[in-house]
Amino acid sequence: MNFKLLPGDSISAQKIALRYDVSRTPAREAIVNLEKEGLLKIIPQSGTYVACINCKRSEQEWFVRKSLEIGMVDAIFENASDDMLDKMTQLNNRLINYKEEVENIPRIEIDNEFHKLIYECSGEKLAMNIIQTQMSHYNRIRYLAELNKSISAKNNDEHEMLIEAMGNIGYAGISDVEQITLLEKYILAGNLAEKRIKEEMTELQEKYQETGLQKYEQEYQEVKEGYGIFQITMANLEKSRVMYKLSIGQLALIRQSNRNVQISIRTQATNSMALLSQQLRNAVLNAKNKEVLEAQKSVTHLNNELIKEVSEAVGMTAEDTEKGLYSTFYNTQAAKQAIESVVSSCAAIEKVASDMLPKMKADVTEVTNMMEELKPAIMRVEAKGTALNEKPTPNSEGTNKELKF
């Protein structure tokens, strides 16, 4: 854009083809694309004209760009490098010292290069493509704004503020130890410089006292004035070191506190879940124990009843048995009757014995006498038997004769 074509100016594919030395086909395609972007207006049977700026569309494009750039801030500051900051500084210096006859390009093109670096740093290629291709009406307003030097100067100041902020963020990205080390290096270098400054001041005083020349006095006063500023700077560095160490300690405490809180939360959550789980298990076990206890009570009651019944039965049996035993041993009436029966039997036996004994003796005597009488008869029988048992004597014919009695 160079504003050589104003809104309402006519344009044709033939003119574009001649100017850029191309055929009409790509020229027509370019016109169609510009018409889609709202930069050209095609009127049938009339021609193609430069469109007016669409303020509503410009506001919408600005809203899109602002939203995308805000969304890229974190990535831009995170990825910022010293090399990129140097390039941004160089481009901004070109904007500050811009002279068209030196640059040979519109000032806004340099501004676009500045912002392109930022978009590339974010890594959001799609966002960068949208900003570069969908901001036609907003860019026309930007071109007009560049004609106003006060607006350009304000943009330059904003660029410097952005570069400084990105540099500070990068510096803040180093570790706490590196920060302290860097401060201590500055303080050490400052102490060495202070020593040289004091020596220089002493030397200038001596020269002034020796020569009385005012130039030495003037140089001494200038160095003294600078030394006062230097002392303030050194004091600020010392304060910064103290405050930074203090802030590191506070930050460490905060981090430790955060860790403790996180640990406490995790521990509480873990313990709470474990306690809840344990309580649920205890409740279940307690319910089961209660059921078992009730069952045990029922069994115990049943056992007690059985024991009671068995005990009563055993007691009764034992009592009856004992009674039976005692009744057996201590039935006096039966014993008396038995004794009387035995005594009576013994008396009867004695009577029978006394009555039968004489008869038995007589019978024995009679039997003995009869045995005496029987002996001779037995002897005669035995004698005859002996004769019968003797062997017969054989006859002369060798035959046995019949025995005759």
- Domain boundary residue, one of 147, 173, 199: 173
Residue 151 lies in a domain: yes
Compare 352 and 234 and report the one with higher pLDDT. Answer: 234
How many structural domains are present in the chain?
3
Q: Which residue has the tokens 């001494």?
A: 220
Residue 328 lies in a domain: no
Host domain of residue 35: 10-50
Say which range, 75-89, 103-117, 292-306, 378-392, has the weakest mean pLDDT.
Answer: 378-392
Asked if residue 126 has pLDDT above 80, the reply is yes
Q: What is the pTM of this model?
A: 0.40
Question: From the CB of residue 142, how many other CB atoms can be counted at a distance below 10 Å?
Answer: 18
| Same domain assignment for residues 25 and 67 | no
| Same domain assignment for residues 37 and 82 | no
- Domain boundary residue, one of 118, 141, 173: 173
53 CB-near residues (< 8 Å, 6+ apart): 7, 137, 140, 141
| Same domain assignment for residues 61 and 115 | yes
Residue 304 lies in a domain: no
pLDDT tens digits for 193-250?
A: 787 788 888 888 888 888 888 888 888 888 888 888 878 888 887 777 777 666 666 6
Cα angle, residue 367 at apex, residues 364 and 372 outer, rounded to 5°: 125
166 exposure class (CB count in 10 Å sphere: 0-12, 13-18, 19+): buried
Residue 269 lies in a domain: yes
* pLDDT, position 397: 46
pLDDT tens digits for 133-189?
A: 888 888 888 878 777 777 777 788 888 888 877 776 554 445 566 666 777 777 777
**What amino acid occupies position 359?**
K
Tally of CA atoms within 13 A in the half-sphere of 166 that contains its CB: 27
Q: What is the mean pLDDT of the chain?
A: 75
| Same domain assignment for residues 84 and 110 | yes
Asked if residue 253 has pLDDT above 50, the reply is yes
Query: DSSP state, 105?
Result: S
Residue 119 lies in a domain: yes
- Closest listed residue to residue 105, CA positions, set 119, 123, 91, 85: 91
* pLDDT, position 281: 65
CA distance 347 to 377: 45
Residue 76 lies in a domain: yes
Residue 372 lies in a domain: no
Residue 67 lies in a domain: yes
**What amino acid occupies position 33?**
N
- Reduce the DSSP state of residue 7 to 3 states and report it: coil
| Same domain assignment for residues 33 and 69 | no
Say which range, 132-141, 215-224, 360-369, 379-388, has the weakest mean pLDDT.
Answer: 379-388
Q: How far is CA 45 from the centre of its chain?
A: 74
| Same domain assignment for residues 74 and 164 | yes
- Domain boundary residue, one of 173, 204, 236: 173
Query: DSSP state, 390?
Result: S
* pLDDT, position 404: 40
Contact 127, 72 (CB under 8 A): yes
Cα angle, residue 275 at apex, residues 274 and 278 outer, rounded to 5°: 85
Asked if residue 387 has pLDDT above 70, the reply is no
Q: How far is CA 395 from the centre of its chain?
A: 146
pLDDT bucket at 322, cuts 50 / 70 / 90 = low
Query: What is the percentage of the chain residues whose pLDDT exceeds 70?
Result: 70
| Same domain assignment for residues 169 and 217 | no
| CA-to-CA dists, residue 188 to 191, 193, 232, 391, angstroms | 5, 9, 15, 175
Q: Which residue has the tokens 């027509």?
A: 28
Contact 67, 76 (CB under 8 A): no
| Mean pLDDT value of segment 102-122 | 85
- Reduce the DSSP state of residue 330 to 3 states and report it: coil
CA distance 226 to 200: 12
Specify the CATH number for the domain of residue 36. Answer: 1.10.10.10
CA distance 192 to 196: 7
| CA-to-CA dists, residue 147 to 2, 105, 108, 320, 345, angstroms | 11, 14, 10, 137, 170
| Same domain assignment for residues 258 and 190 | yes
Compare 316 and 399 and report the one with higher pLDDT. Answer: 316
Give the dihedral sign, CA 260/262/267/269.
positive
